[in-house]
Structure 1
Amino acid sequence: MTARVTLDLSDPVPPYEQIRRQLSSLIAVGVLGPGSRLPTVRSLAADLGIAAGTVARAYKELEQSGLIESRRRNGTIVVGPPGAPHGVAGGDAAVMAAVDVLIRSAREAGIRDDTLIDLVRGRLTSKLDP
């Protein structure tokens, strides 16, 4: 699990937000499906070399958005993306295929993942403005 979550301490985005974004994305694309257990706050913090409070804040925000749920004695589990039909964690297959094509094209063009994310975020923002 922690191999999928990484931190870039030179990034101006706070570490808790980097964790939240990455876990949210993994849930959205179905890599972490409903019922998947997340590492404990302490173990993820130790693996990433950061304070437990940083991971706790990311988990708290994910819980408030309805993506995960903390259960006493059962740990923290993924409850799934809000609004997705039951059993369809990854959303529409055609959209997922298009995202895969975009990622492959960007990598073939030598575009870094963080740059691709910034490009997509910028396009989404510009398309939302009237």
Structure 2
Amino acid sequence: MSGTNGFPGTWKPNTGSSVPLFEQLRLNIIERADSGTLAAGTRLPAVRSLATELGLAPHTVARAYKELEAAGVVATRGRHGTIVCARDEAWSSLTAAAAEFATAAKAQGASFAEAVQLLAAAYDAE
């Protein structure tokens, strides 16, 4: 059974990926928030509930939620749960730029780690 408002649906983390499980979940929620699939005000499942549904440790989900909250993607309201926050257009353009970078990096044969190193170098150069 999927959590509140159908989240996470059929999505499951890829345990064979080099991307950490918390990061996969974090990125999935960001993508859904940016696309409108998770509208502002949508309540996400409780940490333990989502962890059970996805076959993850509760601290993995908690870390993803904590990082999402630090980035302003979600807000935790205590007993009222974790709610998706409204996103502005700047995030949408940043997401599009990241997608273009990822596509270009993959096309050039860069691994995820190499792409992250390139991004970190560019970020530090600014």
**What is the TM-score when the length of structure 1 is the normalising length?**
0.65
- The structure 1 segments of at least 4 consecutive aligned residues displaced by more than 3 Å after TM superposition are 120-123
Equivalence for 1:5: 11
Contact 1:45 1:55 (C-alpha < 8 Å) held by counterparts: yes
CA pair 21-4 structure 1, distance change in 2 beyond 3 A: farther
Distance in 2 (CA, whole Å) between partners of 1:66 and 1:20 is: 12
Contact 1:20 1:58 (C-alpha < 8 Å) held by counterparts: yes
Contact 1:5 1:23 (C-alpha < 8 Å) held by counterparts: no
Distance in 1 (CA, whole Å) between partners of 2:101 and 2:16 is: 17
Structure with a larger share of its residues in helix:
2
Equivalence for 1:71: 77
Equivalence for 1:33: 39
Indicate which of 119, 125, 130 corresponds to 2:103: 119
Residue identity matched to 1:54: T
Q: What is the number of equivalent residue pairs in this alignment?
A: 101
Q: What are structure 1's unaligned runs of at least 5 residues?
A: 93-98, 100-115
**What is the TM-score when the length of structure 2 is the normalising length?**
0.67
Contact 1:40 1:76 (C-alpha < 8 Å) held by counterparts: yes
Equivalence for 2:3: none
Equivalence for 1:42: 48
Residue identity matched to 1:73: R
Residue identity matched to 1:29: S
Equivalence for 2:59: 53
Q: What are structure 2's unaligned runs of at least 5 residues?
A: 1-6, 108-117
